C-alpha cells in the first residue's frame, strides 16, 4: 500500500466512523474555548467540562474575568491541576485581550501565542474550532497514531504536525484533527490497546508497532 493509499484509507475510515464530529470541550464563543483549552493541559476534557461552568458563571468574558483575583480563579480551577500557572495565565491573558485586542480573541498564531500560558497547540485548537481557520494541532493521541500508522517518525510533536499538514489536504485538517483524537481515545489508546479493534493500525500500521503488540501479548500469557 502506497503512502497516498494509506492517507486515503485514514480519511475514508475516519469519515465513516465520525460523520458528525463532536467538539470535546464545552464552550459558547472563542473566549470560553480559549480558557477551556488552556485548562485542559495535563487534564481531561471531562474534568474541564465539569469546572468551566463554575468559572464561567462568575466570568465568561475578559472584562468580568479581570474583576476576579488570581486567587479567586485558582480556587475554582484547582481540580483541573496546574492551577497556580493556569490562574495567572487566565487573568493575564484576559487583561491583554482588553488592552491590545478590544476584548476579542485574536485570529492569528502569532497574536495567540503571545498570550500567557497559550502555546502552539492551544492556539491551533482555538483557530480551528472557534474560527474555522485550517490548523492541525497535535495532541498525544495524534502524535501516537501518526507514529503507529507509519505516517510520521514520532520523534517530536513539531515533526508530527509538519507531516500531518504535508500528507492530508488542508481543507480536511480541522475535521481530521478531531476525528483522529476521537479514534485514538476509542480504538487506539495508549493503555489497554486492543489491536483487533483498531482497524486503521491493523491495516496500515508500522510493522514494528504491530510486532511489539503481539510480542507483549504473548509474554503476558
Q: Which of 139, 165, 175, 202 is catalytic?
A: 139
In order of 35, 51, 53, 153, 218, the CA distances from 59 in angstroms are 11, 13, 10, 42, 53
CATH code where residue 202 lies = 1.10.1670.10
Q: What is the pLDDT of residue 169?
A: 98
CA 143 to chain centre: 11
Last residue of a domain, one of 104, 131, 158: 131
**Catalytic status, residue 139:** yes
Last residue of a domain, one of 131, 148, 169: 131
Measured from the Cβ of residue 145, the count of other Cβ atoms closer than 10 Å reads 24
Q: Is 25 a domain residue?
A: no
Q: What is the pLDDT of residue 172?
A: 98
Q: Which of 60, 86, 121, 163 is catalytic?
A: 121
Q: Domain containing 122: what range?
A: 30-131
| Residue 48 sits in the same domain as residue 119 | yes
Q: What is the pLDDT of residue 221?
A: 67
Ranges of residues in the chain with a pLDDT under 70 are 221
CATH code where residue 94 lies = 1.10.340.30
Q: What is the pLDDT of residue 220?
A: 77
Q: For residues 67 and 91, what is the distance between their CA atoms, to the nearest angstrom?
A: 9
Last residue of a domain, one of 113, 131, 149: 131
| Residue 165 sits in the same domain as residue 122 | no
| Residue 106 sits in the same domain as residue 178 | no
- What's the structural domain count of the chain? 2
Task: Enter the C-alpha cell of residue 18.
Answer: 465520525
| Residue 121 sits in the same domain as residue 188 | no
**Catalytic status, residue 121:** yes
pTM value is 0.92
Q: What is the pLDDT of residue 219?
A: 86
Amino acid at each position: 500500500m502506497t503512502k497516498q493509499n494509506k492517507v486515503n484509507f485514514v480519511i475514508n475510515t475516519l469519515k465513516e466512523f465520525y460523520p458528525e464530529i463532536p467538539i470535546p470541550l464545552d464552550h459558547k464563543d472563542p473566549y470560553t474555548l480559549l480558557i477551556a483549552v488552556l485548562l485542559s493541559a495535563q487534564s481531561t476534557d471531562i474534568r474541564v467540562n465539569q469546572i468551566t461552568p463554575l468559572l464561567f458563571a462568575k466570568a465568561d468574558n475578559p472584562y468580568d474575568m479581570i474583576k476576579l483575583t488570581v486567587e479567586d480563579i485558582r480556587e475554582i480551577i484547582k481540580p483541573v491541576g496546574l492551577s497556580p500557572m493556569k490562574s495567572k495565565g487566565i487573568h493575564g491573558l484576559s487583561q491583554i485581550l482588553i488592552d491590545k485586542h478590544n476584548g476579542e480573541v485574536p485570529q492569528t498564531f502569532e497574536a495567540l501565542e503571545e498570550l500567557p500560558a497559550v502555546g502552539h497547540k492551544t492556539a491551533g485548537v482555538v483557530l480551528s474550532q472557534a474560527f474555522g481557520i485550517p490548523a492541525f494541532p497535535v495532541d498525544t493521541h495524534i502524535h501516537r497514531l501518526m507514529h503507529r500508522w507509519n505516517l510520521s517518525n514520532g520523534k517530536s510533536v513539531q515533526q508530527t504536525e509538519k507531516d500531518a499538514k504535508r500528507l492530508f489536504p488542508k481543507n480536511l485538517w480541522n475535521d481530521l484533527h478531531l476525528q483522529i483524537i476521537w479514534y485514538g481515545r476509542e480504538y487506539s489508546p495508549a493503555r489497554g490497546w486492543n489491536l483487533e479493534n483498531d482497524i486503521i493500525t491493523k491495516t496500515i500500521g508500522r510493522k514494528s508497532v504491530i510486532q511489539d503488540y503481539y510480542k507483549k501479548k504473548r509474554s503476558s500469557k
